[in-house]
Amino acid sequence: MTETFAELDVRPILRQGDEPFEKILEAVAALAPDQGLRLYATFKPVPLFHVLGSKGFSYEANELDGGDWEVLFRRSGTPAVAEPVAAAAASDAAGWPKPAQQMDNRDLDPPEPMVRILAALETMEAGQVLSALLCREPIFLLPELAKRGHAWHGAFEPDGTTYKILICTGGHRDAAA
């Protein structure tokens, strides 16, 4: 059982509107074999549970005063079986219907863009398409879309700063790669 933890506080990064994912992965890569990670965040990082679970970590999440979270990641020895994320990524969305909803989430701090997209998808009928603009690639959103059976197609726009994602509800499988 893991008894020592390296600490990483990503709250300042999140409050600045930046994405701490790379910093978290760097901290995990630097862990000693008998060491876990104590992570502090401004929200419960549910998508990270899946990502680190696939790397052989279990977690224990505790809400702190003020709504912040402390999460202890311990090596569990066996990676959790992860659903292949790429299976729901569409190679081409050309055959999809015109978006029924459009969202501009570029000015929102994480995890708000993901929360809003998932909430909007819950209100849509199977086969409808949602278009969303984001300020970064939605790495935490993609596994959640796969779990819910949605297909997507996304890429950075020519400006290099806007990521546009099209999501087809209910997993428009004939368009999936």
Predicted confidence at residue 78, as pLDDT, reads 61
Question: Per-residue pLDDT tens for 20-41?
Answer: 888 998 999 999 988 999 999 9
Between strands 4-9 and 35-41, the pairing is parallel
3-state helix, strand, coil in the chain (%, to 5): 30, 30, 40
What is the sign of the dihedral through the CA atoms of 44, 47, 50 and 54? negative
What gap in Å lies between CA 132 and CA 138, rounded to an integer? 11
pLDDT digits (tens, 9 = 90+) for 97-111: 999 999 999 998 878
Q: Which residue has the tokens 């996304």?
A: 154
Which residue would you say has higher pLDDT here, 46 or 116?
Answer: 116
Q: Which two three-digit tokens encode residue 64?
A: 């702190």
- Domains of the chain (ranges; CATH) run 4-75 (3.30.110.40), 85-175 (3.30.110.40)
Report for 15-29, 46-60, 94-108: range of highest mean pLDDT: 94-108
Considering only CA atoms, which of 142, 147, 148 is closest in space to residue 126?
148
Average of per-residue pLDDT across 60-72: 91
Average confidence (pLDDT) over 144-169:
89
Query: CB atoms < 10 A from the CB of 83, how many?
Result: 11
At residue 89, the pLDDT reads 60
Q: Whole-structure pTM over 0.85, yes or no?
A: no
